[in-house]
Amino acid sequence: MLFAVLVTAACNRARLLPPGVEGRSVEGDAPGVKSVSLNGAGATFPYPLYSKWMSEYNRINPRVRINYQSIGSGGGIRQAVAGTVDFGATDVPMKDEEQAHASERLLHIPTTLGSVALAYNLAGLGKPLRLDAAVLAAIFLGDIAKWNDARLVALNPDVTLPDLDIAVIVRTDGSGTTSIFTEYLAARAPEFERRVGTGKSVRWPAGFGAKGNEGVTGQVKSTPASIGYLELAYAVQNQLPTAAILNRAGKFVAPSALAATAAADSVEMPDSLHVSLADASSEAAYPISSYTYLLVPEDAKDAQKGELLARFLWWAVHDGQRFSKDLDYAALPGKVVVRIEDKLKALRSGEKRLLEGV
């Protein structure tokens, strides 16, 4: 999928970078380093932003090539645990039992904020749909099968909903997007929790399956009267309308970078650097927002690769944040960046700190 990228100028954040990191090539960062590839795999949720970061970082540091496979959070965790990639990517934190199978301790590094949007293909409405957790749960349970169901009409009195069957589109792969969405529904709709539960992979009672955010986007776009859950960037780049969702404060809020930031600002980040933003309490919060993470070895087996990955991460959580807004993600809150800095400074290979002098 092709993503149109509009890059705007942003203020220089050199004050947050280690001395000499911003704008330096790998030649300056690590003398004598030949061309090196860093390989990662995982979440489709942040793929548009990661793709931009990796091409931009290669432009700045042409000897570093970062390859990323957008295969879903489940695959990212499995490959990180198995050690077949230099880093994994996931929207949902690892479970203790997953970490226990890893050969080294993996750290969660938050990289950006996004929103799970409810995108739909329904012509002629004139204004965005409004949905709440109870109605959403009923749609994805198959209990609401028509667009003109009385419960949908009650939430949307200003539009004429058609007498059409709802085509529900769901994920079939191990997905952080699914985990974020089901966590929200289970928290607000007891029947959904009882019948489906939460997780990266669930047994959906209704719907057509698709793989990845890319697959759901394609299915919604090509299927009239459909609805599916996907990361906001995919909806915006494909000009799909998205629903406003009723949040805990009783406000209908559309997915946006600002609404994801409001969710993050209302939830304290713990030392583990991973936390749920589902159903955040702020009046301005979009209730299906989330951080997404890279999984990085605390003690790198390959010191050279470990250092290059640490430098890329430092760039991503500082200078790379300027690309977030134009791709419909939200930049990390400043107080979270400070916490991430401490984690990155502690990355090592044996006794060697990977960001010496920071």
Please tell me the predicted confidence (pLDDT) of residue 13.
30
Q: Point out the least confidently predicted range of 137-141, 181-185, 353-357.
A: 353-357
What pLDDT does residue 256 have? 97
For residue range 87-144, list pLDDT tens digits in order: 999 999 999 999 999 989 999 999 999 999 999 999 989 899 999 999 999 999 999 9
Paired tokens of 121 = 């293909």
Query: How far is residue 250's CA from residue 358's CA, in Å, rounded to a whole number?
Result: 45
pLDDT tens column, 262-276: 999 999 999 999 999
Residue 32 — very low, low, confident or very high, per pLDDT cuts 50/70/90? Answer: low
Question: Is residue 14 pLDDT above 50, yes or no?
Answer: no
Contacts of 65 (CB under 8 A, 6+ apart): 35, 36, 37, 38, 58
Please give the model's pTM, rounded to 2 decimal places.
0.88
Q: What is the pLDDT of residue 30?
A: 47
Q: What values do phi and psi take at 66, rounded to 5?
A: -110, 120
- pLDDT of the residue at 5: 28
The amino acid occupying position 319 is D
Q: How sure is the predictor about 33, in pLDDT bands with cuts at 50, 70 and 90?
A: low
Instruction: From 278, 238, 321, select the one nearest 226 (Cα to Cα).
Output: 238
Would the pLDDT of 10 be above 60?
Answer: no
Supply 353's token pair: 């700190």
Residue 16 has pLDDT above 60, yes or no: no
Residues 159-184 have a mean pLDDT of 97
Residues above pLDDT 70, as percent of the chain: 90
Average pLDDT over residues 186-212: 96
Q: Could you tell me the CA-to-CA distances from 110 to 71, 242, 272, 316 in Å, in that order?
A: 19, 25, 10, 10
- With tokens 């749609």, the residue in question is 139
Question: What's the mean pLDDT in 314-333?
Answer: 97
Domains of the chain, with CATH numbers?
14-25+37-113+292-353 (3.40.190.10), 115-265 (3.40.190.10)
What's the mean pLDDT when you consider all of the chain?
91
Is residue 84 pLDDT above 50, yes or no? Answer: yes
Phi-psi group of 163: left, alpha or beta (phi > 0 → left; psi -120 to 50 → alpha; rest → beta): beta
User: Whole-angstrom Cα distance, residue 149 to residue 227?
Assistant: 15
Q: Is the pLDDT of residue 291 over 50?
A: yes
Report the b/e string of 10-25 with b at 16+ CB within 10 A. Answer: eeeeeebbbeebbeee
